[in-house]
Amino acid sequence: MKTIRNHNNTPLFDALKNYNKRNVIPFDVPGHKHGNGIPEFAEYIGKKALEIDVNSMKCLDNISNPISVIKDAEELMADAYCSDYAFFLVNGTSFGVQAMVMTVCKPGDKIIMPRNAHKSAINSLIISGAIPIYVQPEINDELGIAMGVTVENIKKSIMENPDAKAVFLINPTYYGAVSKMKEIIEVAHKNGLAVLVDEAHGAHFRYHDELPKTGIELGADMAAVSLHKTGGSLTQSSVLLLNEGLIDKNTVKTALNLLQTTSASYLLMSSLDVARKMLVTKGQEILSRVLKYTRAARQEINNINGLYAFGKELVGYPGVYNFDETKLGVCVRNLGITGFKAYDILRDKYNIQVELGDVFNILAIISVGDTEESIKLLVDALRDMSFKYRSSEMKLDKVALKNPEVIISPRDAFYAKKRVIKLEDAQGEISGESIMAYPPGIPIVAPGERINKQIIEYIKFLKNQHSMLRDTEDPYVDNIKVLGI
Ligand SMILES: Cc1ncc(COP(=O)(O)O)c(C=O)c1O
């Protein structure tokens, strides 16, 4: 990959190590004072980690107005991702998504987005007051999951909404599907719309030439990238990338400073610095291994009776222009069990934690931290499971929901008067809250959308499957908040 700077440098991590060498006597926060105030934790996680868990100070720069070591580290990150600017984030890509939408949309502005967006995107509509113009993602009925969006559907939405301000894209979807990004970006730009990309699951794309291209490489204006998911940095650490032109750097900075903590974790930020160095200097080599293992695993899994590890053969189906092979989705439908059940079996009987289970599939994420041995354990467990846990329990044949009808904007619904009713009585009501299985965190129904019979049946089904339902006031989802008094 082409970069301009010396990526062996880790300016922020070095500054932190230098600070630690000086044995500074801390009379600032955090109050654990290099771990002394929480000895049990320090002993478990290692004193060094707590010695560098410090707050902003002159020699360590400040996330809200970087002028020295954070600025240098962000510039290296921008160079690595081929963007004009990079902003470190310590509240995940969720915050990046919200900052992107806030930067581009004022209250009342329209934004075109697929309805299978993560909750952070739906929540960004509440925070910014933007109005969603949802595009139906393509559905793969065999797998029961949403794929990408088509150029035609985005084009149609733009033509029907010439006043829209931005197009929001997911690159790739949780399961690895990649839309025809370049063409969509070109169509959006031709019509004056900014392109914002949720790249929570694509942090590794830039670092191997056999992986799909990143949104920024293809000309998108902004992208929020979860380095912590597939790039090796610590949980919560992400970056927001900007290509200047349609969007001004200072507007982004203002949006970030509105919601961002004033005590950004140096552990998280310095892990971004080191992950970037690793990805630029060794990414091609590491990801070649990851791809080799994943391809071999896919082949082996596809030889197991009853299992289907989907991958690049989906390219060419509607909404799948490319596919991220490091997402190892396995359809367990022909074993006669649900993906939820397979997820539990793998965890309880084989000590294997996969990323998610849905109705027909499980999803394993293969990344920079995996080894040939760890992947072999997964394949062996799947083989054993396919013998021991076949069943005839599964009767469902179609699961993916169509976009619910939007009655009022998510923000108006958020601020509206609400009442709580039984879930089974909610048909026809307008939802006052989001309900989702997490992961993947895609709202089944969002504030302002009409609750239909299919939604109620689906939520009941998920409850029966002991799926982790989230974001409702009632933690057991027997009740639901709807609009009205
Ligand atoms: C598609 C998508 N976007 C955004 C996010 C939020 O990312 P983060 O966990 O880094 O806040 C997720 C999290 O799973 C996601 O799946």
Nearest to 148 by CA among 198, 74, 87, 91: 198
Instruction: Report which ligand 1 atom has the smallest distance to the Cα of 95.
Output: 11
The atom of ligand 1 lying closest to the CA of 117 is 1
C-alpha of residue 254 to centroid of ligand 1, in Å = 22
Distance 94 CA to ligand 1 centre (A): 6
pLDDT digits (tens, 9 = 90+) for 101-153: 999 999 999 999 999 999 999 999 999 999 999 999 999 989 999 999 999 99
Closest CA to 223 of 70, 104, 71: 104
Nearest-CA residue for ligand 1 atom 7 is: 93
Pocket test for ligand 1, best of 90, 95, 101, 201 (most atoms within 8 A of CB): 201
In the sheet with 131-135, reading across from the earlier edge strand, the strands are 85-89, 238-242, 222-225, 194-199, 166-170, 110-114, 131-135
Question: From the alpha carbon of 94, which atom of ligand 1 is closest?
Answer: 11
> Which of 382, 381, 360, 358 minimizes the C-alpha distance to 441?
358
Atom number, ligand 1, closest to the C-alpha of residue 228: 10
Ligand 1: distance of its center to the CA of 154 in Å?
22
* Continuous segment of H or E residues that includes residue 235: none
Which residue puts its alpha carbon closest to atom 9 of ligand 1?
92
Please report the atom of ligand 1 found closest to the CA of residue 170. Answer: 1
Residues 6+ apart with CB under 8 A from 221: 194, 195, 196, 242, 243, 245, 246, 247
Residue 280 half-sphere exposure toward CB, CA atoms < 13 A: 21
State in Å: Cα 32 to ligand 1 middle: 30
What domains are defined for the chain? 62-262 (3.40.640.10), 284-388 (3.90.1150.150), 410-483 (3.90.100.10)
**Which residue's alpha carbon is nearest to atom 6 within ligand 1?**
94
How far apart, in whole angstroms, are the C-alpha atoms of residue 331 and residue 316? 19
- Residue 358 CA to ligand 1 center (angstroms) comes to 17
Which residue, 206, 139, 150, 210, is CA-closest to 175? 139
* Residue 363 · residue 327 · CB < 8 Å: yes
Distance 238 CA to ligand 1 centre (A): 10
Among 87, 226, 238, 355, residue to substitute to test ligand 1 (most atoms within 8 Å of Cβ): 226
Task: State which amino acid sits at residue 295.
Answer: R
Distance 259 CA to ligand 1 centre (A): 17
CA 385, distance to chain mean position in Å, is 29
Q: What residues line ligand 1, using a CB cutoff of 6 Å? A: 92-94, 97, 118, 120, 170, 174, 198, 200, 226, 238, 439-441
The residue whose CA is least distant from atom 13 of ligand 1 is 200
Please tell me the distance between residue 112's alpha carbon and the centre of ligand 1 in angstroms.
19
pLDDT of 398: 60
Residues in the chain with pLDDT values less than 70: 393-400
- pTM to 2 decimals? 0.96
Instruction: Report how far ligand 1's centroid is from the alpha carbon of 201 (Å).
Output: 7
What interhelical angle do 119-128 and 92-104 show, nearest 10?
A: 40
CA 442 – CA 122 distance, rounded (Å): 9
| Ligand 1 center from residue 97 Cα (angstroms) | 9
Spatial distance between the Cα atoms of 119 and 445, rounded to a whole number of angstroms: 10
CA 440 to centroid of ligand 1, rounded, Å? 8
Model confidence pLDDT, tens digit, residues 409-440: 999 999 999 999 999 999 999 999 999 988 88
Which of 91, 93, 145, 240 to mutate to test ligand 1, by most ligand atoms within 8 A of the CB atom?
93
